[in-house]
Amino acid sequence: MRLPVQVPGLGGWSEDPAWASVYDWTVEHPRAGGLLWRLGVGSSLPMLYAASDEIGGQPAGARVLDIPSGGGVALRGLRPGQGVDYVAADISPAMLDRTMAAARHRGVADQVTPQVADVGDLPFDDASFDLVVSFTGLHCFPDPRRAVAEMTRVLRPGATITGSALCTDTGVRYEPMRRVGRAAGLIGPACATSDIVAWLDERGLREVTLQVSGAIAYFRAVRE
């Protein structure tokens, strides 16, 4: 349920509200941010970092889509000299600037192309990526089902999608945080864990797995 009022002055993600840089700071600081992360969403920040390891397994020449790239947290999985064509996409140009700053800091900027994009209407051809990563994203999108449809559309046969999302059925203790997020315009309608599995199934993906950690669900699936 969306609250009838929006907290004034914050704006949506594309307007780079103050919360966006606060959020990015937390994910980039494993100690202080990790504590806030554990208190806020009951999950471990290293689990987010570990989920990006899948990127490091891609061979030279592979094409990876990271949407939403945010401040570039998933770049932890990309190795200098790996030879991957890594497209970092986000609706917020300011977030993409943070991604590119992180890419330069990690020595992987030569592999990363920033692209402003709305996940609901991706400017990429069908079957054009070997891996799509979407961390902490689905709950921020206005139509998470359409986002899953778009992100799976661009997967090549045999390619993988992996990601995470704040879900609606991971515990009532997280409901106040979800309501504040919705009022601030940072969280959309979101979805339940069963929705993610159903949406991946309906797109014909196989090997669908989902693991809940606090308020967050981590999912992974492979395109036929």
Ligand X SMILES: C[S@@+](CC[C@H](N)C(=O)[O-])C[C@H]1O[C@@H](n2cnc3c(N)ncnc32)[C@H](O)[C@@H]1O
Residues in touch with ligand X (CB under 6 A): 13, 23, 27, 67-70, 73, 90-92, 95, 118-120, 135-137, 140-141
Show the tokens assigned to 29. 């600081």
The percent of the chain in helix, strand and coil, each rounded to the nearest 5, is 40, 25, 35
Are the CB atoms for 48 and 135 separated by under 8 Å?
yes
In sequence order, the 6+-apart residues with CB closer than 8 A to the CB of 49 are 30, 73, 76
Residue nearer to ligand X on the CB measure, 104 or 206: 104
Show the tokens assigned to 191. 């979805």
Residue nearer to ligand X on the CB measure, 144 or 203: 144
What residue is closest to ligand X based on CB? 70
Minimum distance, C-beta of residue 58 to ligand X, in the bound complex (Å): 17
Strand 216-223 and strand 155-166: the pairing is antiparallel
Residue nearer to ligand X on the CB measure, 120 or 189: 120
> Kind and range of the H or E element at 144?
helix 144-153
Residue nearer to ligand X on the CB measure, 50 or 60: 50
> Kind and range of the H or E element at 134?
strand 129-134
Residue nearer to ligand X on the CB measure, 79 or 146: 146
Are the CB atoms for 47 and 121 separated by under 8 Å?
no
Residue nearer to ligand X on the CB measure, 34 or 70: 70
Show the tokens assigned to 192. 């339940």
Minimum distance, C-beta of residue 107 to ligand X, in the bound complex (Å): 20
Minimum distance, C-beta of residue 215 to ligand X, in the bound complex (Å): 12
Q: CA 31 to CA 33: how far, in whole Å?
A: 6
Positive or negative, the Cα torsion across 194, 143, 49, 222?
A: positive
Minimum distance, C-beta of residue 224 to ligand X, in the bound complex (Å): 26
Minimum distance, C-beta of residue 8 to ligand X, in the bound complex (Å): 19
Minimum distance, C-beta of residue 112 to ligand X, in the bound complex (Å): 14
Beta carbons within 10 angstroms of residue 181's beta carbon: 18
